[in-house]
Amino acid sequence: MASFPEAPCGESLGNTILTLVNIGRPDSLPPPKRGILGRDGSGLTPSGDVPTLASVPALSPGDGFPLPKPRSLIALLGVLAALAAPAHALGSEQMYMGAAEDEGRNADPAVAMAKMQLAKAAGFDTIRITTIWDPGQSAVPAGQLQALQSIAAAGDFLGIRVIATIMNFGSRTTPLTASSRTQFARFAADLVRRVSGIREYIVGNEPNLNRYWLPQFGPNGEDVAATAYVQLLARTYDAMKAVDKGVFINGGSVSPRGIDRPGTGRDTHSPTAFITDMGTAYRDLNRNRPIMDGFSFHPYGENSSTPPTFAHLSGTSLGLADYDKLVSLLGTAFDGTAQLGSTLPIVYDEYGVDSQIPDGKRRFYSGREPATTRPASEGVQAAYYREALEMAACQPTVRGFLIFHVTDETDYNRWQSGVYYADGTPKSSRPFVKQTMAEIRSGAVDCGAPPVPGPKAGWAVATAAEIAAAEKGSSVVGGWVLVDSSG
């Protein structure tokens, strides 16, 4: 729970917002495998085989993303030739895809159903919710239980998997003692027993951050958070499995960044240090059974303008492009023990890109946007979500990918990363994300090298007829068009 590449014209655009529109393909080209953004006045329409962000060089978080100079209308037609590339591995068709969203966690079944229907309309097959443990609780209280049963029933009816994160609310309630760990574990076991519709769980939330777990460091600067979290995870795993061996339990829920230095006023651990220390703590238990069936990770970018392709070539932070590092860390931590390591399934259960809110929707929001957020246009949000989903689908041990939110939060100080505005109306990124997920499920995502342009590839000004055909959804006219630039 959280806390552009170079354009064809190669000119600087500053903060200009770009809209890409598909205008179909000529009959001589093969059917499209991948998509690009399109706008018909009401939303984005993904279609066509186009370049992705995968070929973008690694950028530092502070870098700008150069785009064409502002003008009232830019209409460029990119003609793409048929590809004659060898076959490559395809993305996983089994990866579940959805969102982390608590709006449907409501004791009123009608409210739970309505919120889940929004998720279904967006193409999501999975929703992750949270359930909060408070000190002293060994069973799920009636109010929470009813809400969890309502959303589980709605998920079952709509065919949406429901995952529950079981967590303490803030670092003041960190379960540090043997007694509190036992209470937490019994609470989790009670949830498994009484809400049979939820079959997958995540234990804890970002225990490497002081916001959710304290203390992080001991008197000598040692990592006490990882040790205490592993003890909680082990006890909770055993209690939940004693009720139902078939439930799938994810550990970790680790944040992508941390300082690894005590006494800074914001004591945190990086994922690199925390995973390593989890391995040490697990080995110290001398345990002959696992503590988790999967590993949950939150691969947020440094801000919402950071592309998912940004790789951390040095340092201790991790993102989507650092999958190999993550697998290596898990292997070093756990391989050779009863706990899977390098082959442990990974769930990206939070990834968000804040989008800029148009003037007509601002009345549904309040507060102030932090300067560090750097929200992106809806077109960039859609492109980043597409790239992130495709990257995850091509990472062999990834089990699931969840966007942070179906619907925006109303507070600008929180997350506007959903595919719906706060009033429940869809953003123009929604159909683009939906098509991306459909393509992944159909096995249409190629994990090989990016397309190589043919001899006719290039850029030309689109004619009025081509733009009109694009707006009507024509499949006869080829290529794709960048039709709008507003800053």
Say what the pLDDT of residue 448 is.
82
Tell me the C-alpha distance between 256 and 298, whole Å: 6
H/E run at residue 185: helix 178-194
The residue whose two tokens read 């944040």 is 255
Helices (DSSP H) in 256-335: which residue ranges? 271-284, 323-334
Say what the pLDDT of residue 202 is.
98
Q: Angle between the 378-393 and 430-441 helix axes, to the nearest 10 degrees? A: 10
Structure tokens at 312: 């951390």
Q: Is 170 left (phi over 0), alpha (psi -120 to 50) or beta?
A: left
Domains of the chain: 8-85+458-487 (no CATH), 96-441 (3.20.20.80)
Say what the pLDDT of residue 92 is.
75
Say what the pLDDT of residue 90 is.
72
Contact between residue 35 and residue 89 where contact means Cβ atoms under 8 Å apart: no
CB proximity list for 131: less than 8 A, separation 6 or greater: 105, 140, 144, 148, 164, 165, 166, 167, 191
Structure tokens at 129: 């919710």
H/E run at residue 79: strand 76-79
Tell me the C-alpha distance between 424 and 405, whole Å: 12
Could you tell me how many residues make up the chain? 487
Structure tokens at 334: 């756990």
Contact between residue 466 and residue 482 where contact means Cβ atoms under 8 Å apart: no
Say what the pLDDT of residue 301 is.
97
Which of 316, 386, 399 minimizes the C-alpha distance to 48?
Answer: 386
Say what the pLDDT of residue 60 is.
42
The residue whose two tokens read 């552009």 is 4
Q: Quick one: CA dihedral 410, 412, 418, 424, positive or negative?
A: positive
Contact between residue 351 and residue 401 where contact means Cβ atoms under 8 Å apart: yes
Tell me the C-alpha distance between 77 and 74, whole Å: 10
- Residue type (1 letter), 356: Q
Sheet of strand 76-79, all strands in order from the earlier edge strand to the far edge:
17-22, 480-486, 76-79, 458-461
Q: Quick one: CA dihedral 317, 319, 322, 326, positive or negative?
A: positive
Q: Which stretches in the chain have pLDDT values below 50? A: 3-87, 451-460, 470, 473-487
Sort strands 458-461 and 126-133 into parallel, antiparallel or unpaired. Answer: unpaired
Tell me the C-alpha distance between 188 and 74, whole Å: 55
